[in-house]
């Protein structure tokens, strides 16, 4: 029967380990996805001449612009690992869960995206009308009734996590790709990736995606139930080190009442083109990369500080910890931001509303081996990916 519409029940989002790979074990389904938007734009140059009013041709001079953005609920770090970010504490060893000096071992969160590669592929799978993708296809490889839209050679250009009162912590990701295709059989199909050196499509194999599943790689850590989502009431911000950079108290029992916090890791890239190629043969990260921590709070107490003194303060660290909602809560996700400095502090006050303050801190991403600058992430997830 013909499909009348497509809604979220029928869709799933997959990512590959590398754009050139096609085996079932080279792909993972992302979990807790809330939205996915994708598009392409073709830039053309009109060819006109004397003697003809209308153009005689329209040629493509620049590579097409392919964009993808999606969001998902933050859980145990599985999605981040599948997307190529470095997430520590994911090995699953029981001693790590209990704590210890190496519980939150360090590694640069963005290090996997700082080296040259061919990108990854994303796939949006759609099941037949009225079928829940995750249950209709459970236990079987996607069948021929599923359709797939593939986006090839994608590079993540932005990662943002938002945490606020009254909302589940949500991650938003933006990616830029080189190519897009659609197929009408989900059991095996051509890759959307292109050989960026030659500007031709990959023909090294037929893509097979893993079985769709409700928890999409998320597992209960060490015998506990699977994390469905993390709650705002289980978020702790450790901003003690940032106190000296603020005119209000932002940490402690009498500190400001934090309403929202967000971390942004921008990874904007510049395509490198050359004569003889229809596609950029590389998309390199634009350095330096400045990550930001934005905090919004209701003002309670001020403290004695002088902006003239704040200007001379050195770099400090801060962290955000999210616990799971089990009977004995444990740390599910932890972000550490090192080398922070305050960029701005803005107050807002008016009749009928609480006085609020917005603070922005920034740090720069260092190299893969730099453990003193940038953003670091640890997650309790332990599922082995891409196998």
Summarize pLDDT for 79-97 with one digit per residue, the tens: 999 999 999 864 443 333 3
Q: What percent of the chain has pLDDT over 70?
A: 89
CA dist., res. 149 & res. 126, Å (int): 8
Tell whether the model's pLDDT for residue 230 goes beyond 70.
Answer: yes
Domain assignment present for residue 195? The answer is yes
Residue 87: alpha-carbon gap to chain centroid: 12
Tell me, what's the pLDDT at 304?
81
Domain, as residue range, for 197 = 10-40+63-379
Give backbone dihedrals phi and psi of 41, rounded to 5 degrees, phi first.
-130, 130
CA dist., res. 10 & res. 128, Å (int): 7
Give backbone dihedrals phi and psi of 320, rounded to 5 degrees, phi first.
-130, 125
Tell me, what's the pLDDT at 380?
86
299-324 average pLDDT score: 85
**Number of structural domains the chain divides into:** 1
Domain assignment present for residue 52? The answer is no
Domain assignment present for residue 260? The answer is yes
Supply 25's token pair: 């074990």
Tell me, what's the pLDDT at 141?
64
Domain assignment present for residue 228? The answer is yes
Domain assignment present for residue 53? The answer is no
| DSSP string for residues in 325-339 | -SSS--EEEEEEEEE
Domain assignment present for residue 123? The answer is yes
Quick: pLDDT tens for 34-72.
Answer: 999 999 999 899 999 999 999 999 998 888 889 999 999
Range from 90-104, 144-158, 197-211 carrying the lowest mean pLDDT: 90-104
- Confidence band of 106 (pLDDT split at 50, 70, 90): low
Domain assignment present for residue 385? The answer is no
Report yes or no: 254 and 354 within 8 Å, Cβ to Cβ: no
Domain assignment present for residue 284? The answer is yes
């Amino acid at each position: 029967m013909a499909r009348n519409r497509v809604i979220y029940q029928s869709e799933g989002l997959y990512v590959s380990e590398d754009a050139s790979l096609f085996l079932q074990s080279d792909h993972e389904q992302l979990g807790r996805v809330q939205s996915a938007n994708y598009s392409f734009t073709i830039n053309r140059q009109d060819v006109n001449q004397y003697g003809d009013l209308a153009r005689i041709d329209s040629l493509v001079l620049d590579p097409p612009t392919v964009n993808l953005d999606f969001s998902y609920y933050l859980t145990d770090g599985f999605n981040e690992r599948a997307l190529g970010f470095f997430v520590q504490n994911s090995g699953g060893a029981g001693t790590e869960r209990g704590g210890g000096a190496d519980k939150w071992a360090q590694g640069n969160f963005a290090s996997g995206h700082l080296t040259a590669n061919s990108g990854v592929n994303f796939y949006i799978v759609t099941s037949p009308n009225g079928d829940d993708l995750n249950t209709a296809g459970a236990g079987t490889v996607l069948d021929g009734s599923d359709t797939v839209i593939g986006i090839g050679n994608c590079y993540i250009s932005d990662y943002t996590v938002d945490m606020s009162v009254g909302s589940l912590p949500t991650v938003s990701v933006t990616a830029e790709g080189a190519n897009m295709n659609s197929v009408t059989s989900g059991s095996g199909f051509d890759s959307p990736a292109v050989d960026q050196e030659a500007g031709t499509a990959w023909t090294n194999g037929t893509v097979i995606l893993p079985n769709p599943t409700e928890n999409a790689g998320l597992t209960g850590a060490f015998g506990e139930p699977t994390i469905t989502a993390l709650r705002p009431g289980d978020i702790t911000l450790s901003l003690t080190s940032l106190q000296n950079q603020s005119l209000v108290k932002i940490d402690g029992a009498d500190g400001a009442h934090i309403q929202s916090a967000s971390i942004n890791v921008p990874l904007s890239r510049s395509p490198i083109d050359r004569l003889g190629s229809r596609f950029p043969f590389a998309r390199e990260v634009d350095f330096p990369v400045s990550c930001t921590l934005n905090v919004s709070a209701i003002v309670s107490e001020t403290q004695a500080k002088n902006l003239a003194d704040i200007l001379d303060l050195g770099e400090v660290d801060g962290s955000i910890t999210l616990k799971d909602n089990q009977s004995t809560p444990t740390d599910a996700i932890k972000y550490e931001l090192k080398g922070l400095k305050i960029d701005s502090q803005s107050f807002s006050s008016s009749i009928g509303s609480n006085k609020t303050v917005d603070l922005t801190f920034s740090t720069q991403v260092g190299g893969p081996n730099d453990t003193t600058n940038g953003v670091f992430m640890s997650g309790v997830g332990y599922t082995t990916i891409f196998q």
